[in-house]
Chains A and B, each alone.
Chain A
């Protein structure tokens, strides 16, 4: 039952085939059974059960709040949740219980969703592996899938089963793992440079980064305010559309949200592909792109072409400056945003209290990890008066050029861009940590962060399994505020590729079988 989609479980709830409490309990016990994945930092068992009971009462009275009523969800631990610890996987906020909920969290709760817990991440969402938080790395559920295991045995270069587990990608790795391992039906991530789409791709789930300004950031503990967008992780595109419909819309508490009212939509299954124009940005043939992913990308293009769509190679000439530009802008905003963590009003405070300055310094040294401190340092360097023009202003100009690249492409009739989401499938943790966080982030965000620079909506759709039996996702980037078009294309694609479901039956001693016939995969 847990492996069905949000839409299906919602129907089951409405038809009384399952009760919210039962569903919540099953999820909670499944979370416990998969604890070794380290997907959750906090399990909000008591409040979740209470919310489920309330939902059950609403179902009993026939007064449900919406499609999400009674549906277990998880939220990345950088969204404020009133009364529930919110840590950002940092010592700085360990034990911090916020007095208010992020707008997106509140919207979920207002729809009757059941909040199971807070998911793991890189400290303050700074990373692309979900490996650099104080609660330890998140393990990719696919590490334990039949698909991967079978291939691994064939390849037989695995000595120790447990040392070979895979990273989820990040920084929303906890949310991706939670959706992928069926412990919840939808999860919130955040996406600044690809933090939702990257782990979604590596964990074989759908990851949507909506247009900047469509969803409120109020209550999302910021990484880069001008690029952060709450992300949605679900099992399928339809589910992402449902959650988007709940979250989108103007929030007076976030002045950067657009005023125009958002109308929730349902996706059609059929599209007239002949009216569709798909752009293939040539600059995304980046060094390091695996031949498998490249081949898959190319097959996907053919798929659209064969369906009658126009598939055109396009150019986004400033793409190659994107990573370095992102680095400057990201660290500058990080330096600024992190200034509030001084140990005075909330969070960690050092016991060194010789003077205010000493306390500040010690608090921040004890509270932040090396990655965070490193970004603060470089960000402050870029913002110094003598460097501001050279770095920050220049990076802003480049950002504008990158955004204009997209404007030009869309102006020339392209509806949606098709790109890889990641360079390759995911890798084992032991491999991943051979490079530092900065190098990894630069590599892993390469296809994703341009959409953040330009504020455009983008979605990764799980497409096929690699030779190693691991998911590979492809990304669609749409026009600003054209989520409906983007998701319609994504859903059509999803239906074509028939991505196989993860087979986790060996993973837990759980009663019900997860076993499911592998759907006939479009791609081998």
Chain B
């Protein structure tokens, strides 16, 4: 019904040009960021020294990340949450801010925020408050966003993340960024600009969807660090299920605060880089902005406190005409929502309806293993390298795939990991598929590795079988081995004949070996394998050749 009300008034005059860029960033809030000195030698030298040979520059990067909460319904209304639904099909009366409607807090969203807060080592505020943040925008129907400005649900946490450093990027280091706070807030709708008709179309499907704004302190110093921190956060959110955190679908939106200064001096003026909507561009956008500021300052210019958008086509940041920045949001307590009270087992009053309360301890007890814990377990349990554990977790579903294969094969996990990370991952990348879309199931790969492990096939034959399996015709590895005759030739007589034939065809080599040059033996073995297309049992072949050559 709301949709039909809206349809009539969907068309509104186009915003002025400057507004357009601002639209895509979704709600976000500027806050005073007191520079805090960070005693850390590693930061110096991360950026190149100035051209005139003065002290090197140090960059300071802080992040504000909006993560869309994975929930069936919106933060304050019963409308469904769904990506790419028909425009204005998921709009309740409240979402369209019809007069007289009131917010009713979604418990699931609170639990998601508490879960995320706990996973990020935050203190959970047993009492938090909701506020209204006012600004006029076409996709903000109430004229204000309900957020948590005064007292957010979680504060004072930390996030550890790892990245590869060193010239060859082969050394892993772990760093920590402080989490200032996590607040619950509403998402805005979306504006779609119709240039031909000079109109803006409003889609309110997203309006009112729950967001967690995670504010990271400026503890990072490069795009790479920021990207690694965001990636780790993304993994944590996905592990918790508190957000799907898919950047391409806007479920994770990152704004970066960037400034540069000389070590020992006060922090520089910071800019805010918005519109970073892919992990790939995050590092690039930040690094571009750091370099831009350094260049600006070295050329005698100044950095302005402004909002800049990252243009991924041009690969640079450009200033946004930003009225929002100068706007006074006229924050006010949200009078329609009582304080959000959370309990722990100790403070939980007797006779409470468990549907009505959120128990922090209950959530804590049910937290899944976080990525960092899973990685340690993988290394300990399977003896794989730490960097392998990162790759396993970074690819959605790959860890489970690996563990399933290990469970179904006799092959040593240290050998299995090679097949997973080199061969399987290679194919996945080549065909641009996700693990769950792989035509090769963990069972088939395990079967294949078992054939290899039992000596039924050679490793080169195994590669051929895998290639066949990727065609996705549903044949088992054993079927393929049989059809393609890829099984090892273990028949002594047959191998004797083949070896004999090879020796006869290569008298020179035979003479060499007989003279004592044993190295040439390998060539003969290779020739036998070529003849058999890799199917000959290499151990057997060597035995036969040695025996015959010594005769």
Contacts and interface: CB of A to CB of B under 8 A. Distances in A.
Bound pair (A, B): yes
Contact of B338 (A102, A220, A255): A255
Interface stretch (A8-16, A93-101, A437-445, A478-486): A93-101
A352 to B, nearest CB: 9
B141 A344 contact: yes
Given A93-B99, A345-B96, A255 B202 contact: no
Chain B interface mostly helix, strand, loop or mixed?
A: loop
Interface stretch (B102-110, B116-124, B247-255): B102-110
Given A345-B5, A346-B98, A356-B13, A252 B136 contact: no
Interface in A367-388: 380, 383-385, 388
Nearest to B77: A253
B134 interface: yes
B200 A345 contact: no
B100 interface: yes
Given A345-B9, A360-B136, A218 B102 contact: yes
A392 interface: yes
Contacts of B134: 336, 339, 383
Nearest to A80: B100
Nearest to A124: B99
A221 B99 contact: yes
Interface string A349-364: 1000111111110000
Interface in B25-64: none
B86 interface: no
Nearest to A218: B102
A340 B105 CA distance: 20
User: In the complex, which range does the number of interface residues on chain B fall in?
Assistant: 35 or more
Nearest to A360: B136
Interface stretch (B300-308, B326-334, B448-456, B533-541): B326-334
Contacts of A355: 13-16
A440 B142 CA distance: 30
A366 interface: no
A98 B202 contact: no
Contact of A339 (B15, B100, B138, B143): B143
Q: Please provide the 9 A-B residue pairs with the shortest distance between their CB atoms, ordered closest to farther.
A: A339-B143, A383-B330, A225-B335, A226-B335, A353-B13, A221-B99, A219-B100, A340-B97, A99-B1
Interface of B: 1-2, 5-6, 9, 12-16, 19, 93, 96-105, 132, 134, 136, 138, 141-144, 200, 202, 328-332, 335-338, 356
Given A342-B136, A344-B141, 20 more contacts: A80-B99, A93-B99, A99-B5, A218-B100, A218-B101, A219-B100, A220-B100, A222-B100, A255-B338, A333-B335, A336-B132, A336-B143, A336-B144, A339-B142, A344-B138, A346-B9, A358-B13, A383-B134, A388-B331, A392-B332
Nearest to B135: A339
Contacts of B202: 344
A385 B328 contact: yes
9 contacts: A86-B99, A96-B99, A219-B101, A226-B335, A256-B335, A256-B336, A336-B332, A355-B16, A384-B328
A74 interface: no
A333 B14 contact: no
Contacts of B2: 99
B200 A383 contact: no
Contacts of B330: 335-336, 380, 383-385, 388
Contacts of B97: 340, 345
Interface of A: 79-80, 86, 88, 93, 96, 98-100, 102, 217-222, 224-226, 252-256, 259, 332-333, 335-336, 338-346, 349, 353-360, 380, 383-385, 388, 392
A508 B462 CA distance: 102
Nearest to A347: B99
Nearest to A226: B335
Contacts of B136: 339, 342, 357, 360
Nearest to A352: B13
Contacts of A339: 134, 136, 142-144
A294 B142 CA distance: 45
Given A255-B336, A256-B338, A354 B328 contact: no
Chain A interface mostly helix, strand, loop or mixed?
A: loop
B102 A255 contact: yes
B104 A340 contact: no
A102 B98 CA distance: 12
Nearest to A220: B100
Nearest to B139: A344
> B12, B104, B105, B142: which has the most chain A beta carbons within 10 Å?
B12
Contact of A356 (B15, B105, B143): B15
A354 B13 contact: yes
Nearest to B204: A345
Contacts of A335: 330
Given A344-B202, A345-B5, A99 B98 contact: yes
A229 B267 CA distance: 51
A88 B328 CA distance: 29
A356 B20 CA distance: 12
A186 B381 CA distance: 75
B150 to A, nearest CB: 11
Contact of A340 (B16, B143, B328): B143
A229 to B, nearest CB: 13
A343 B104 CA distance: 25
> B13, B96, B144, B356: which has the most chain A beta carbons within 10 Å?
B13
A225 B132 CA distance: 13
Contacts of B93: 99-100
A335 B101 CA distance: 17
A322 B254 CA distance: 46
B426 to A, nearest CB: 51
Nearest to B1: A99
B37 to A, nearest CB: 27
> A88, A224, A342, A392: which has the most chain B beta carbons within 10 Å?
A342
A349 B9 CA distance: 9
A332 to B, nearest CB: 6
B13 A253 contact: no
A356 B103 contact: no
Contacts of A93: 99
B9 A340 contact: no
A294 to B, nearest CB: 36
A217 B15 CA distance: 35
A13 B329 CA distance: 56
B69 to A, nearest CB: 19
Contacts of A253: 102, 104
A356 B200 contact: yes
A212 to B, nearest CB: 11
Contacts of B141: 340, 342, 344-345
Given A217-B102, A218-B101, A225 B336 contact: yes
A384 B330 CA distance: 5
Contacts of B15: 355-356
Contacts of B13: 353-356, 358-359
Contact of A255 (B96, B142, B337): B337
A80 B97 CA distance: 13
B5 A340 contact: no
Contacts of B335: 224-226, 256, 333
> A341, A344, A349, A380: which has the most chain B beta carbons within 10 Å?
A344
Nearest to A100: B93
A349 B104 CA distance: 29
Nearest to A96: B99
Contacts of B200: 356
A333 B102 contact: no
B5 A383 contact: no
> B144, B200, B330, B332: which has the most chain A beta carbons within 10 Å?
B330
Contacts of A359: 12-13
B332 A332 contact: yes
Nearest to B330: A383
A519 B200 CA distance: 67
